[in-house]
């Protein structure tokens, strides 16, 4: 990403709005170091983050800030894929390399599988992707079908959204809905009514990237309402605090959606710190930054919190496909005091 954040972007990320691109991050004046201690000992679950676009430094900061588990939804990597193989490789990386890399930092990595709305518009490729999607949807550690839904709200987007809702029913998996940046309110309503039309239980559906305009309807209909704290967007974390104050913690969850855009993998702990500072009860914070996401996605049968309750000691010498996260010259975390190199 080499874009000037003040300029309209051709490929806005999850929560960007071209019309409101002059917005500034609401939390940029808060110095994280000053607030970090507010959340000491708390643990967080980020149900929406694209680690494939993030660095190893991020993993280190995340684990330090108390993030114990994450969900990586299959989404847009910033440019359209040109063939089925790229999809296969991408999906494989979500259950393979990225899961391994995450484990190296003691973070439990799950993912959701889906054909994203943007790429649903390439019908030829979309057809091929739909053929292999079941082979990924049923894999271990896949906790949902996602993120699916609308972007431009085209006919093809609707077609593949519907097909994937059917797949979710068949696979008994929760659904993670990506709501569009443009015409969000209508897009969100449309996504929900189609899900209901297909007979999905709203308690199995997480509607993502909500704002003040959409939250009430989502909650009223019985869906999970997820909020993305993403800089330069409509939802900064100060306003997130107000949403929680107004609606309480039931069926609300917070995520970072951090990806290749200007985003923040610490969005959840930072928002939690802000909520602590504003005097929101700890149990409320726990629900919206940890427990609700687990409750929603554990319906997949793929989440066992004992996996991250255990004191985790990753083996930094482990290798994946013969590759380690550690590069030449780097020493694994263990044995660093040894003079001998064997």
Q: Minimum Å distance from CB 75 to Zn ion?
A: 4
Query: Under the criterion CB under 8 A, does residue 306 sit at the interface with another protein?
Result: no
167 within 8 A of 148, measured Cβ to Cβ: no
Nearest to 120 by CA among 147, 93, 142: 147
A 10 A CB-CB count for 301 gives: 9
42 within 8 A of 286, measured Cβ to Cβ: yes
251 within 8 A of 223, measured Cβ to Cβ: yes
> What part of residues 40-99 is at the interface with Zn ion (CB under 5 A)?
75
> What part of residues 154-173 is at the interface with another protein (CB under 8 A)?
171
> Residue from 3, 6, 92, 193 that binds another protein (CB under 8 A)?
92
Which of Zn ion, another protein, none interacts with 185 (beta carbon under 5 to 8 A by kind)? none
# residues near another protein by CB under 8 A: 20
Which of Zn ion, another protein, none interacts with 75 (beta carbon under 5 to 8 A by kind)? Zn ion
Query: Under the criterion CB under 8 A, does residue 8 sit at the interface with another protein?
Result: no
A 10 A CB-CB count for 131 gives: 9
Instruction: Return all residues near 55 (Cβ < 8 A) that are at least 6 apart.
Output: none
73 within 8 A of 112, measured Cβ to Cβ: yes
| CB nearer to Zn ion: pick between 3 and 330 | 3
Q: Minimum Å distance from CB 322 to another protein?
A: 3
Which of another protein, Zn ion, none interacts with 95 (beta carbon under 5 to 8 A by kind)? another protein
**Residue labelled with tokens 């997820």:** 226
Which of Zn ion, another protein, none interacts with 281 (beta carbon under 5 to 8 A by kind)? none
> Residue from 8, 83, 134, 281 that binds another protein (CB under 8 A)?
134
Q: Minimum Å distance from CB 265 to Zn ion?
A: 13
Query: Under the criterion CB under 8 A, does residue 322 sit at the interface with another protein?
Result: yes
Strands of the sheet containing 175-178, edge to edge, are: 44-46, 67-73, 108-113, 142-149, 175-178, 205-207, 224-228, 252-255
Burial of 173 (0-12, 13-18, 19+ CB in 10 A): buried
> Residue from 10, 124, 306, 321 that binds another protein (CB under 8 A)?
321
| CB nearer to another protein: pick between 28 and 319 | 319
Nearest to 246 by CA among 223, 267, 228, 219: 219
Query: Under the criterion CB under 8 A, does residue 336 sit at the interface with another protein?
Result: no
342 token code pair: 């064997």
| CB nearer to another protein: pick between 18 and 132 | 132
> Residue from 139, 159, 162, 169 that binds another protein (CB under 8 A)?
139
Which of Zn ion, another protein, none interacts with 322 (beta carbon under 5 to 8 A by kind)? another protein
d(CA 119, CA 152): 11
Which of Zn ion, another protein, none interacts with 35 (beta carbon under 5 to 8 A by kind)? none
> What part of residues 217-256 is at the interface with another protein (CB under 8 A)?
none
Q: What share of the chain is helix, strand, coil (3-state, %, to 5)?
A: 40, 15, 45
CA dist 279 to 25, 170, 199, 252, Å?
A: 22, 43, 40, 18
| CB nearer to another protein: pick between 142 and 229 | 142
Query: Under the criterion CB under 8 A, does residue 91 sit at the interface with another protein?
Result: yes
Which of Zn ion, another protein, none interacts with 32 (beta carbon under 5 to 8 A by kind)? none
**Which residue ranges make up the site for another protein (CB under 8 A)?**
88, 91-92, 95-96, 131-132, 134-136, 138-140, 171, 301, 319-323
**Which residue ranges make up the site for Zn ion (CB under 5 A)?**
14, 75, 257
């Amino acid at each position: 990403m080499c874009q000037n954040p003040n300029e309209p972007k051709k490929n806005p990320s999850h929560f960007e709005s071209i019309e409101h691109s002059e917005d500034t991050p609401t939390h940029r004046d808060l110095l994280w170091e000053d607030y970090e201690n507010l959340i000491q000992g708390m643990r967080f679950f980020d149900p929406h983050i694209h680690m494939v676009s993030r660095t190893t430094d991020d993993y280190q900061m995340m684990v330090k800030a108390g993030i114990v588990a994450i969900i990586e939804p299959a989404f847009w990597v910033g440019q359209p894929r040109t063939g089925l193989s790229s999809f296969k490789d991408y999906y494989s990386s979500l259950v393979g390399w990225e899961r391994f890399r995450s484990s190296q930092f003691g973070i439990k990595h799950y993912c959701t599988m889906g054909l994203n709305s943007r790429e649903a518009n390439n019908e030829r490729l979309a057809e091929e992707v739909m053929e292999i999607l079941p082979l990924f949807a049923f894999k271990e550690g896949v906790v949902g079908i996602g993120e699916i839904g609308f972007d431009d709200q085209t006919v093809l987007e609707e077609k593949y959204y519907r097909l994937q809702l059917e797949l979710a029913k068949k696979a008994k998996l929760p659904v993670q809905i990506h709501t569009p940046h443009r015409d969000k309110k209508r897009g969100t309503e449309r996504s929900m009514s189609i899900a209901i039309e297909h007979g999905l239980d709203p308690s199995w559906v997480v509607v993502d990237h909500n704002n003040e305009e959409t939250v009430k309807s989502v909650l009223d209909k019985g869906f999970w309402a997820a909020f993305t704290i993403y800089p330069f967007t409509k939802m900064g974390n100060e306003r997130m605090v107000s949403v929680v104050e107004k609606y309480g913690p039931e069926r609300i969850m917070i995520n970072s959606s951090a990806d290749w855009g200007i985003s923040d993998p610490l969005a959840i702990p930072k928002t939690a710190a802000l909520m602590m500072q504003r005097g929101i009860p700890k149990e409320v914070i726990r629900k919206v930054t940890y427990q609700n996401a687990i409750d929603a996605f554990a319906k997949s049968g793929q989440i066992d919190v004992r996996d991250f309750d255990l004191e985790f000691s990753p083996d930094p010498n482990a290798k994946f496909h013969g590759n380690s996260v550690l590069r030449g010259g780097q020493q694994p975390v263990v044995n660093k005091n040894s003079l001998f190199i064997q």
